[in-house]
Structure 1
Amino acid sequence: MRRSSRLKGSGYLVSSVSVVLLGIPALKSAKDEQAMLLAIIAGMALSIVGMALRWRSHRVEATEE
């Protein structure tokens, strides 16, 4: 695996962890409002899924070259 590929993967992993860390206080403050809680959880999940898809597309491109 190329160095640039490892760097991209590491960047996506760091971004995913940051989404979780930033979401924890938001989840605690929204615990009494169910709609807000669901919105925060959905936003966190979609952000992480989006990063995983971008990483996967990068890997596909790398193998096609």
Structure 2
Amino acid sequence: MRGLGYFVSIISVMLLGSVAWPSPEDPSWHLPALLAGMATSITGMLLRWAASRKQLHELHAVERRTGA
């Protein structure tokens, strides 16, 4: 479920980014700022997902060692 939640969040970032896409008359810094914001948001979600996978893997390793 957690992975699905992160996937949905990534899709929402893409949808919101498409709505916020700057028009030609917007200042030139809008596009790089939008892309950087989208990229950092998605990167953060992927890092949290990877951390949760690592934590789950470590928990299973402890369970195997202890026979729990």
TM-score above 0.5, yes or no:
yes
Equivalent residue for 1:54?
A: 48
- TM-score for both structures, normalised by structure 2: 0.79
Q: Structure 1: how far apart are the matches of 2:14 and 2:51?
A: 22
Larger relative helix fraction:
1
Greater Rg over alpha carbons, structure? 2
Do the aligned partners of 1:31 and 1:37 also contact (CA within 8 Å) in 2? no
| Structure 1: stretches of 5+ with no match in the other structure | 1-6
Q: Percent identity?
A: 46
Aligned equivalent of 2:36, options 29, 37, 42: 42
CA-to-partner distance for each residue in 1:20-56, whole Å, 9 max, x for gaps? 00110111xx232220111001000100000000000
Unaligned stretches of 5+ residues in structure 2: 60-68
Tell me the number of residue pairs that the alignment of Structure 1 and Structure 2 aligns: 57
TM-score, L = length of structure 1: 0.83
- C-alpha RMSD of the superposition: 0.8
